[in-house]
């Protein structure tokens, strides 16, 4: 898969997103604005890795490059913006069908919670996933991954969570593994067995939580099918106590944790910090004490404005308050059939600008390096620096601010993964 040698040259704006020297950690506060922009720049990739980053004229003078120029694939990026491939750190791609009835009911005035209580929502996606062959699910996931790459995404966190039996959650994770083996990008799998309590356990959620802890988590861990365990901790899903219990089971089985927190209601976050969660996602409702706590941790607040948009909500998470306080913030699509059927990171970034008052440069760092921190892959992903994976997105725009500016169209002209061009328009 790894191409021999690839040179992107004459780049109009190269967003390296490299850290200030000596700094290592997710970007916070004003650091989120620093994109390390180089003009008329070049990136050389060898064996799937970035080997040098600098000015085009210096790259072309390099003795190694002069000698090997014929062996290089050279791509002219005049008037283009090159940035690290997006890291989409929150997606739910293992489903079969769109939820069009929910869509219409919401347009007619029903809320997400009312629809869920009436048997729609997450529970209505379960039957068909339980019945589906693994290969069908794998092909659905692969289709989504390809669509994401076309929009500039090169690393994706993918959750199970529409099976909610031991068998169908493991089948979903196997489908993710199968799709990942056929996609050149990087897939980080997450077990979301604790998405909702399925109807056969209604009224005895504790019994279901025990199955998650005693069966799903140990089996997923033993078979190395998941890197993270996620819990939807909220009204109508899992309680804080159940979430702690599930986090403890994950820890015992050597898996890291993350959670959907504060989407519909506020849950105190401080008690969970002892599990060192990689991220708390959604964060529409969060109190000031918890914000202060998060400033001292590497747990990333992953905001998913696509869900607010698609649910037609007036309010969005308070990104400004989180960023200005010093909480590391990432952006993700939350790709799923109920609340956010979009594959596009630029769409999430555009919503972050218009509805959460994030600056374009902040959305770019949140969609790359901080996504990488949220998945604990920042040693390899999320910035353009020698030694990191050669995962790059090339946008047909002259100024990086145009990436979130042109909404509803795809301006990604080329996607490079592991030094190979995987999409070109």
Which residues sit at the interface with ligand NIG, rule CB under 6 A? 92, 121-122, 125, 232, 260, 263, 307, 334, 336-339
Nearer to ligand NIG by Cβ, of 18 and 171: the residue is 171
Nearer to ligand NIG by Cβ, of 56 and 308: the residue is 308
From Fe ion, ligand NIG, none, interface partner of 363 (C-beta below 5 to 8 A by class): none
Residue indicated by tokens 């290089």? 72
The vertex-409 CA angle with 403 and 414, nearest 5°, equals: 65
- Give min distance, CB of 307 to Fe ion, in A: 7
CA 143 to chain CA centroid, Å, is 16
Please answer whether residues 282 and 321 qualify as being in contact, where contact means their C-beta atoms are separated by less than 8 angstroms: no
- Give min distance, CB of 280 to Fe ion, in A: 12
Could you give the CA distance from residue 93 to residue 126 in angstroms, rounded to a whole number? 13
From Fe ion, ligand NIG, none, interface partner of 120 (C-beta below 5 to 8 A by class): none
Could you give the CA distance from residue 86 to residue 238 in angstroms, rounded to a whole number? 30
- Give min distance, CB of 263 to ligand NIG, in A: 5
From Fe ion, ligand NIG, none, interface partner of 121 (C-beta below 5 to 8 A by class): ligand NIG
Could you give the CA distance from residue 65 to residue 83 in angstroms, rounded to a whole number? 22
From ligand NIG, Fe ion, none, interface partner of 184 (C-beta below 5 to 8 A by class): none
- Give min distance, CB of 234 to ligand NIG, in A: 7
Could you give the CA distance from residue 334 to residue 337 in angstroms, rounded to a whole number? 10
26: CB partners within 8 A, 6+ apart? 298, 300, 328, 330, 369, 370, 373, 374, 378
- Give min distance, CB of 355 to Fe ion, in A: 18
Nearer to ligand NIG by Cβ, of 197 and 422: the residue is 197
From Fe ion, ligand NIG, none, interface partner of 258 (C-beta below 5 to 8 A by class): none
The residue of the chain with the least Cβ separation from Fe ion equals 334
Nearer to ligand NIG by Cβ, of 125 and 361: the residue is 125
Burial letters for 8-18: b for 16+ Cβ neighbours within 10 Å, e otherwise? bbbbbbbbbbb
157 forms part of the interface with Fe ion (CB under 5 A)? no
- Give min distance, CB of 17 to ligand NIG, in A: 26
Nearer to ligand NIG by Cβ, of 5 and 237: the residue is 237
- Give min distance, CB of 250 to Fe ion, in A: 17
The residue of the chain with the least Cβ separation from ligand NIG equals 338
- Give min distance, CB of 216 to ligand NIG, in A: 17
401: CB partners within 8 A, 6+ apart? 360, 361
- Give min distance, CB of 115 to Fe ion, in A: 16
Nearer to ligand NIG by Cβ, of 121 and 360: the residue is 121
| Contacts (CB under 5 A) with Fe ion, residues 277-336 | 334
From Fe ion, ligand NIG, none, interface partner of 338 (C-beta below 5 to 8 A by class): ligand NIG
Could you give the CA distance from residue 153 to residue 145 in angstroms, rounded to a whole number? 8
Residue 247 tokens, joined: 């986090």
Nearer to Fe ion by Cβ, of 31 and 334: the residue is 334
Report the first-to-last Cα separation within the chain, whole angstroms: 20
Nearer to ligand NIG by Cβ, of 93 and 338: the residue is 338
Nearer to Fe ion by Cβ, of 290 and 334: the residue is 334
Q: Residue count at the site for Fe ion (CB under 5 A)?
A: 1
- Positions that interact with Fe ion (CB under 5 A): 334
């Amino acid at each position: 898969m790894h191409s021999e040698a690839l040179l992107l040259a004459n780049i109009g704006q190269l967003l390296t997103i490299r850290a200030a020297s000596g700094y290592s950690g997710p970007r916070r506060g004003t650091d989120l604005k620093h994109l390390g922009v180089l003009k008329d720049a070049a990136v050389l990739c060898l064996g799937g890795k970035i080997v040098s980053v600098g000015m085009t004229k210096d790259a072309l003078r390099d003795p190694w490059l002069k000698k090997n120029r014929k062996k290089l694939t050279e791509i002219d990026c005049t008037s283009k913006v090159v940035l690290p491939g997006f890291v989409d750190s929150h997606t739910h791609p293992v489903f079969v069908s769109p939820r069009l009835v929910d869509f219409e009911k919401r347009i007619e005035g029903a809320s997400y919670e009312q629809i869920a209580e009436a048997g729609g929502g997450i529970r209505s996606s379960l039957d068909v996933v339980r019945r589906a062959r693994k290969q069908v699910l794998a092909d659905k996931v692969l289709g989504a991954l390809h669509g994401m790459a076309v929009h500039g995404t090169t690393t994706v966190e993918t959750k199970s969570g529409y099976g909610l039996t031991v068998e169908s959650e493991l089948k979903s994770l196997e489908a993710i593994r199968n799709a990942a083996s056929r996609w050149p990008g990087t897939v980080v799998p997450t077990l979301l067995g604790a998405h909702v309590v399925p109807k056969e356990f209604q009224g005895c959620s504790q019994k279901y939580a025990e199955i998650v802890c005693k069966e799903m988590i140990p089996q997923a861990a033993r078979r190395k099918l998941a890197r993270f365990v996620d819990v939807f901790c909220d009204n109508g899903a899992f309680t804080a106590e159940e979430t702690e219990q599930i986090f403890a089971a994950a820890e015992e089985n050597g898996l890291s944790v993350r959670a959907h927190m504060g989407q519909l209601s506020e849950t105190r976050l401080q008690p969970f910090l002892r599990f060192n969660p990689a991220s708390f996602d959604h964060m529409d409702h969060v109190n000031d004490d918890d914000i202060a706590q998060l400033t001292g941790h590497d747990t990333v607040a992953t905001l998913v404005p696509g869900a607010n948009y698609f649910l037609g909500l007036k309010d969005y998470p308070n990104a400004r308050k989180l960023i200005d306080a010093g909480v590391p913030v990432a952006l993700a699509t939350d790709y799923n059939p109920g609340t956010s059927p979009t594959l596009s990171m630029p769409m999430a970034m555009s919503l972050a600008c218009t509805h959460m008052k994030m600056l374009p440069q902040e959305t770019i760092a949140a969609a790359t390096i901080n996504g990488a921190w949220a998945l604990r892959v920042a040693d390899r992903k999320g910035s353009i620096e020698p030694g990191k994976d050669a995962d790059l997105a090339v946008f047909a725009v002259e100024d990086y601010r145009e990436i979130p500016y042109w909404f509803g169209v795809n301006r990604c002209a080329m996607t490079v993964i592991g030094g190979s061009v995987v999409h070109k328009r």
